Amino acid sequence: MIRNHTKQEPTVEDCQNGISIDLFLHLSLIPAALIVGVLSFLQRRSQTLAIDRRLPFLGGRFAIVVPLDTIGSLSNRWSYGFAFGAVSSSVLLLFSESYVPFTVPPWARAIVYLVGALEVGLVYFPFFACLSTHFRAAGAVLGILYSLCWIIITIWDTFTCPGGKILGKHQKIIVQWPCILSLIFLLGRFVYMLVKDVRIRLQLEQEDVVELNEHHQVQHVKRLLRKTPAHGKPLSWFQRRVYLWDSHFKFPNRIIGTAIISLIGLYTMTLADYILSNAVFDEVVTWKNTLQYLVTSCNQTQALGAMIPQLEEFIDVARKCWLATTIFASLNSVAYTFHVLVCYRKHLKRLWRGQRGFIPEKFHKPRSAVSVASIARYSGWQIAFTLWGYLIVHFVHFLFSLLLVYGLVLPIQHGQVVRMLSNLGIIVLTIALVTGLLILQIVLVQIFFLQDKLSPTDKEKPLALNNRKAFHCFNYFFFFYNVVMGFSTCILRLLLSIIMGTWLVSRIDRTIMQRGYEGMDAGYSTWIGMIFADHYHNNPVMVCFCQLLVSNKLERHGSAYSTFSNKPSETPVNSKAKRRWMLFHTLLRNPHLIPLRKHHLSSLHQLQASLSPQSDMVVRAWVMASQTQSYQTAPQLLPEITVTPAEDS
């Protein structure tokens, strides 16, 4: 394919543009280190160290530069996502040793992978650091310069030498366009940051107020405190079957970046799979032609000559099945990537509601160190699981397609419909008989060997035996048949376990181990640790409560600090929300007053109707506590805190 190029068009071997991306990656360590050093110099350490006393002229500078907050920050999420997209091309290089300019022994491969990962992380560190730094002007200028260098070098190398050994003469254009698009987006983001900082300095725009909670978290808490309407708006088919959008939930930048790299990796791997499979099948056809020539020239036996058409048919079927299943495997992996996002939101919401039934019991209280380490492991493991899962699922689809073609399609093409139907009928009849006998046992037990219903309204009969002697005979005669059926069921169980395990290997949110052995699934353990860490750090109720405490403390000291970005609809004196909060606080501090209130029961029902189910349980607990605790122990229930009321909360 390369030899057919014209002389004017550069080939893979003779293309010399004076630029090597691998070499540029190594040389980028110098400007990356300088940018990190400048950003570190601008920041000041919050704590004084021994070096500050020895070198007082530093003034606490050279602090740690944080690339991105992977736990609590939800700002610039898509910017960080495109930064991960720019990293994707170099991340795929870590699966090989092509970026190493020298040969290493086999025992040092693990060290090479570690060094390569550190190098790639340092080279792309300025993109993240310039986005997250508090010094917008310096970060924007440095980010613009660094992004321009990468865009110019990448575009020059892509369009001057577009060919490659795997995907042909347009390999780099096909592979590198997501990376180039991400770099252009980052350049635009840095320009926007610079313009915004200039407008703030010219007092044309106000600086954003940094708070503990986000707007969507405040709205989530308000939704919990509102009364749920009896008849809500009916959901559409897409909302019920596919995805239900929640404006009060946002995915962290870690999850978005992981999804973007996974999708770009799947795109690249699908292209490579398609081209490599074509090349492999072409090579197999060449071997087949050589074998056919040898058989013909050497006058081999008729049996060996009859195998040639069958081999040709198998190669043709395998090629078409492999190429067809490439599409289904890639779509399956893309669907899994988005489904993991849905599961992340669903699992976090369940943890916020206190529901842990979907998690194995041994994971209900994970170790703190394991949970925090899971945050660091998740992104890399999810990407690797997604790419490996694509290959494994592709192979499983390929095997199923071969069975389908040889079992149904080819017999019809060869005019063997009767034979195919007879074989299929035998298989279906066997499965139907086995299933029918299983159902027959259940029906016989339901009719003859269970006692009658205790009440006509019961759905099922009670678990109480009837006709015990007949049941013993029934159990004895079916014992021998169940032994024979157990052999086939055991094989079927093993096959289903293998199929489901390989099909779900990229689903890190679901274990492929049996119950009781979930701890052996390292991917699932990482998922559980990660969602628990996010639950403990980003629970909207907890974050909003902490924001209220901080706001109250600063207001007492005379500092103007906004808790919620909403304006009260009433004056503070007549605010209904404030009166409810004060009443709530008073009864919590003095539970012995609850039974003494006028119309106690009616007021309690109104309070329960205005609160969420979780708050209703808390109120009931206070009522019970008020009847048993004395006035001296009541003040110990809550520290001396005054909670500032907010509208509709």
The neighbour count for residue 284, using CB atoms within 10 Å, is 15
Give the closest residue to 81 by CA, choosing from 189, 176, 217: 189
What pLDDT does residue 142 have? 92
CB proximity list for 168: less than 8 A, separation 6 or greater: 1, 275
What pLDDT does residue 8 have? 40
Q: Is 371 helix (H, G, I), strand (E, B) or coil?
A: helix
How many Å apart are CA 256 and CA 262, to the nearest integer?
10
How many Å apart are CA 294 and CA 310, to the nearest integer?
17
Residue type, position 450, single letter: L
How many Å apart are CA 541 and CA 297, to the nearest integer?
82
Both tokens assigned to 450 = 């269970």
Residues of the chain above pLDDT 70, percent: 77
- Of the two residues 490 and 295, the one the predictor is more confident about is 490
With b for 16 or more beta-carbon neighbours within 10 A and e for fewer, the 170-201 pattern comes to ebbebbbebbbebbebbbebbeebbebbeeee
What pLDDT does residue 331 have? 92
- Of the two residues 639 and 236, the one the predictor is more confident about is 236
Q: Is the pLDDT of residue 103 over 80?
A: no
Both tokens assigned to 535 = 């639950």
What pLDDT does residue 633 have? 41
Q: Is the pLDDT of residue 557 over 80?
A: no
pLDDT in tens, 601-628: 555 555 555 555 555 555 555 555 444 4
What pLDDT does residue 289 have? 75
Q: Is the pLDDT of residue 215 over 70?
A: yes
How many Å apart are CA 565 and CA 571, to the nearest integer?
16
- Of the two residues 133 and 552, the one the predictor is more confident about is 133
For the CA atoms of 147, 148, 150, 151, the dihedral, rounded to the nearest 10 degrees, stands at: 110
Q: Interior CA angle at 515 toward 509 and 489, to 5°?
A: 110
How many Å apart are CA 581 and CA 368, to the nearest integer?
34
pLDDT in tens, 442-468: 888 888 888 888 888 888 888 888 888
pLDDT band for 213, please (50, 70, 90 cuts): low
With b for 16 or more beta-carbon neighbours within 10 A and e for fewer, the 619-633 pattern comes to beeeeebbeeeeeee
pLDDT band for 210, please (50, 70, 90 cuts): low
Both tokens assigned to 27 = 């040389």
CB 146 within 8 A of CB 3: no
pTM (2 decimals)?
0.72
What pLDDT does residue 322 have? 92
Both tokens assigned to 411 = 């017999």
Span 184-213, average pLDDT: 82
The Cα-based distances of 171 to 157, 163, 165, 271, 408 in angstroms read 12, 5, 8, 9, 38
pLDDT band for 646, please (50, 70, 90 cuts): very low
pLDDT in tens, 539-551: 888 888 888 888 7
pLDDT in tens, 401-434: 999 898 888 888 888 888 888 888 888 888 888 8
The Cα-based distances of 489 to 316, 429, 434, 443, 486 in angstroms read 35, 16, 10, 20, 5
CB 390 within 8 A of CB 505: no
What pLDDT does residue 562 have? 45
Q: Is 179 helix (H, G, I), strand (E, B) or coil?
A: helix
Residue 184, phi then psi, degrees to nearest 5: -65, -40
What pLDDT does residue 604 have? 54
How many Å apart are CA 112 and CA 539, to the nearest integer?
40
How many Å apart are CA 228 and CA 232, to the nearest integer?
9
**Region of 249 on the Ramachandran plot (φ > 0 left; ψ -120 to 50 alpha; else beta):** beta
Which of 255-259, 295-299, 527-531 is predicted least confidently? 295-299
What pLDDT does residue 600 have? 61
